[in-house]
Structure 1
Amino acid sequence: MPESPSGEFVNWSGSLRFTPGEFLHPADEEEVVERVRLAAERGETVRPVGSGHSSTPLSATDEVLMSLDRMSGLVAYDREALRGTLLPGTGLAEAGRLLAMADMGMENLGDVDYQAIAGAIATGTHGTGTTLPNLGANLVGGRLVTGTGAVVPFGEEAGPDHDPDLLRAARVSLGALGVMTSLTLRLLPDHDLHRVNWCTHIDWALEHFHRLAAAHRHFDLYWYPRSDLAQVRTLNMPGEEPEDPALIPPGRHLRRDETDSNHEIIPNSRELKFDEMEYMLPLEAGLECFRVIRERIRERHRRTVAWRVLLRTIAPDDGLISTCEGRPTMTIALLQNNTLPHDEYFGDLEPILRDFGGRPHWGKKHSLRAADLRPLYPGWDTFNEVRRRLDPKGVFLNDHLRDLLIEEGSEEWHRVGETRKRRREEARA
């Protein structure tokens, strides 16, 4: 957990720093309930936090920060039904190892496995693959503590008459519905993957992008702006690799070719830290958008951008505010070393990503607010109805979430703002 000796919270990249009034590490659901109920009585804000990988202020608070790192482990599984129930603070790397011991594995993983499972799902973490949705799409049930301190089972844990809107809201929740205390996932049998990384020119990779994406279980590529090379990565079940010679570029440079367990071979090692902006675009518009982005980077940013641009695909899902809700998706991620300026770079390219119908990744840099976001999500109003029902006093709303989820000037926006102002005045007194 990225906490400094002074009590300051620092996220993974170092771009987010704040000092909470309390930094709690509950050991079980009962402790979560007790503290949330007290916060509701006092009018305090509680923000759950996972590993701190997100670079947006989703967890930022000067009141109660609640880490779930002591609530970790696989607590139940059913090999026949392919289900596993994890505690919220379980790291993705640890989850992979625990599930493998039960002869199961997750359908997909993201680019890194640093995150805790609850935080990864809450922010819409995804991997790559045209048939593979984001991680939250495989959330089929669980338990959460609401803003009143009630424990609410959802999905399969709530039985056949469960509330489908609550499950869809929980699949990407931003921690705005409550504190997750268990998560049940739909899984696959444990499986190996064959990974191949190779380099070619970006023009060849773009020409064959859709064929490569359709042919491989996982496919993504990095474009290196300073060289115009692309590193292509494919992963497939052993023996299921496509045998199309047209998908092997002439003179390719092979960088990696190995087979290992899915949870070991999908994530990349990230020794160097970076900040990132990523937008999810309609699949049919993604390459056209990237070509515009590419030209802009070459014209204005090539000398100052030290990191690559990552392209991936994601299957559609039904999360109410999932960035892939209802549409096949291509993602464009802009990375910059965390020791170098990124505001001008990201700010210049974000309008292009928005012009092509992009939805920003919830856990990465972006400038959008509720009035910008609401038109992008058909389930937006339903999500907020679920949120208000579970958290009627706004216990889980920090300033950032207020701006993300509530349109400025609305009655709720003013009410939450006045509550926060009053709490700060009381704290100073």
Structure 2
Amino acid sequence: MAETFTNWSGSISFTPARRTAPSSAEEVAELVTAARGRGGTVRPVGSGHSSVPIFNTNDTLVSLENLAGVIEADSQSQQARVLPGTGLSDLGGQLAEHGLAMENLGDVDYQAIAGAIGTGTHGSGVRLGNLSSTMIGGRLINGLGEEVPFGVDAGEGEDHDLLRAAQVSLGSLGIFTSLTLRLEEAYELHRQNYITHIDWVLENFAELIEVNRSVDFYWYPRSDLAQVRMLNKPGEEPDLQPEGELKKDETGPNYEIIPNDRALHFEEMEYMLPLDTQLEAFKQVRERVKAKHRATVGWRVLVRTIAADHGLISNAETVYRQGAPTMTIALLQNNTLPYKAYFDDLEPLFREFDGRPHWGKKHTLEAAELAPLYPGWERFQQIRQDMDPEGVFLNDYLRELFVETGE
């Protein structure tokens, strides 16, 4: 038996029969073929940042730590091929050596690129897509042990269904062996963090998201203050500035400026909702938290926005939102404090607002509830079954998500 694996927040632990770290696509294929031959299962893992058990297995856990780095980069086409285990904290600097940068990054950079893409990790910005939308091709080992190219690696366009399925797939189609990313010319960002009252944010949210390249805010339940984070290219800062204290003001490469350091670990639930510049869902969350949870909530509530994309089961998928951007509301709770009653109480409210849960964060929805939320659901399931007909990449949790009871 391998050592017990524990995720980043500490809420998930399991002991696989074996844990291995292949160094090539051939080794990955051999592992999958061997598992298939004995009727076993394989689950990939990057940094273990996910707070749901998508990586759990009692069979073979495949670490991608030895499949890391940039394979090739082209500053002219603004594309790069990278290995799946590349940490986001390393990728920015490696791309910068080629004069390139990711379009956006998430709130933290602890994840490996494959895990971040596979779960729909995102930053903030009504004109900026999630990380998954920047994957335009790649290769993966499917459940038959075959290496399959997709997207530009297969000579296919960005509207091809296999790419759209792979963009957010929770590792259910196979194990990535390379990813091709659409990038931008390397750039710097000016970050300004303001502490203001939440009422100022509510009054100015519509303008804030329009005039900033990227903006988000934290609401602090116990003080009713908010921290507004504005990120813009130097010289493109808007005239609108929050009332209150300027807490942070710094400029540097995007990959150094966007991510936050999180010394304290936390549990998280996040739902994606139709963008509402009046923030009605947030207002109801605020009232509920103040009425019932203020004494026990040790962290904060984070609000962000995402541009629409084409991933079949992406939370910002364009058909479901009719091409409109998405807004997200995340509940964060210190991992040393109880979270379940808090999350369970707020989840029905998110669903009332047509919300869809983040795939890598805590929620209670299963296949029967998830299927109606995604116009591309049936097509995704067809592709998943074609890529992994014997369920080599399924675990109990993924069966709950993808397989309706009675099938």
Report the TM-score range of the alignment, normalised by the length of the smaller protein. over 0.9
Among 112, 120, 126, which residue is 2:122 paired with? 126
CA contact (8 A) 2:46 2:85 kept: yes
CA contact (8 A) 1:45 1:396 kept: yes
Among 18, 41, 65, which residue is 1:45 paired with? 41
Distance 1:312 1:37 in 2: 41
CA contact (8 A) 1:36 1:46 kept: yes
CA contact (8 A) 1:286 1:330 kept: no
More helix by proportion, 1 or 2? 1
- Give 1:284's aligned residue: 276
- Give 1:261's aligned residue: 253
1:352 aligns with 2:332: no
Distance 2:118 2:183 in 1: 18
- Deviation string 1:292-315 (CA, Å, 9 cap, x unpaired) is 111000000000001010000000
CA contact (8 A) 2:205 2:278 kept: no
Distance 2:15 2:158 in 1: 38
Question: In structure 2, do the counterparts of structure 1 residues 286 and 249 end up closer, same or farther at CA, with 3 Å as the change threshold?
Answer: closer
CA contact (8 A) 2:136 2:158 kept: no
* Displaced runs of 4 or more, over 6 A: none
Distance 2:201 2:176 in 1: 41
- Written as runs of structure 1 = structure 2, the 5 A alignment for 1:2-81 is 7-81=3-77
- Written as runs of structure 1 = structure 2, the 5 A alignment for 1:278-427 is 278-284=270-276, 287-326=279-318, 327=321, 328-410=325-407
Cα root mean square deviation, aligned: 1.3
- Written as runs of structure 1 = structure 2, the 5 A alignment for 1:171-182 is 171-182=167-178
Unaligned 5+ segments in structure 1 are: 411-429
Distance 1:398 1:170 in 2: 18
- Give 1:224's aligned residue: 220
Among 223, 241, 245, which residue is 1:248 paired with? 241
| Letter of the 1:269 counterpart | D
| Letter of the 1:356 counterpart | F
Distance 2:79 2:104 in 1: 15
Cα deviation for residue 210 of structure 1 reads 1.2
- Deviation string 1:13-68 (CA, Å, 9 cap, x unpaired) is 00000000111111110100011011111110110111000010100111111111
1:213 aligns with 2:233: no
- Deviation string 1:90-131 (CA, Å, 9 cap, x unpaired) is 000111010001110000000000000000000000000000
CA contact (8 A) 2:42 2:59 kept: yes
TM-score normalized with structure 1 length: 0.92
- Deviation string 1:157-215 (CA, Å, 9 cap, x unpaired) is 10147981000001101000000000000000000000000111001101111110000
SS in 1 for 2:121: coil
Cα deviation for residue 286 of structure 1 reads 7.3
CA contact (8 A) 1:370 1:404 kept: yes
CA contact (8 A) 1:44 1:395 kept: yes
CA contact (8 A) 1:359 1:376 kept: yes
Question: In structure 2, do the counterparts of structure 1 residues 145 and 331 end up closer, same or farther at CA, with 3 Å as the change threshold?
Answer: same
Aligned residues: 402
CA contact (8 A) 2:14 2:58 kept: yes
CA contact (8 A) 1:73 1:95 kept: yes
Distance 1:23 1:287 in 2: 45
Question: In structure 2, do the counterparts of structure 1 residues 66 and 409 end up closer, same or farther at CA, with 3 Å as the change threshold?
Answer: same
Distance 1:256 1:161 in 2: 42
Distance 1:380 1:131 in 2: 25
| Letter of the 1:93 counterpart | S
| Letter of the 1:234 counterpart | M
- Written as runs of structure 1 = structure 2, the 5 A alignment for 1:140-155 is 140-155=136-151
Question: Identity, % of aligned pairs?
Answer: 60
Q: Point out the more displaced range, 257-266 or 155-164.
A: 155-164
Distance 1:380 1:286 in 2: 30
- Deviation string 1:226-245 (CA, Å, 9 cap, x unpaired) is 000000000001111112xx
Distance 2:362 2:13 in 1: 15
- Give 1:421's aligned residue: none
SS in 1 for 2:140: strand
SS in 2 for 1:97: helix
CA contact (8 A) 1:309 1:335 kept: yes
CA contact (8 A) 2:194 2:242 kept: no
TM-score normalized with structure 2 length: 0.97
Among 272, 275, 298, which residue is 2:267 paired with? 275
CA contact (8 A) 2:164 2:311 kept: yes
Distance 2:379 2:278 in 1: 28
SS in 1 for 2:276: helix
| Letter of the 2:96 counterpart | A
SS in 2 for 1:125: coil
Distance 1:330 1:249 in 2: 20
Distance 1:340 1:163 in 2: 44
- Deviation string 1:363-386 (CA, Å, 9 cap, x unpaired) is 000000000100100000000011
Distance 1:45 1:401 in 2: 12
SS in 1 for 2:222: coil
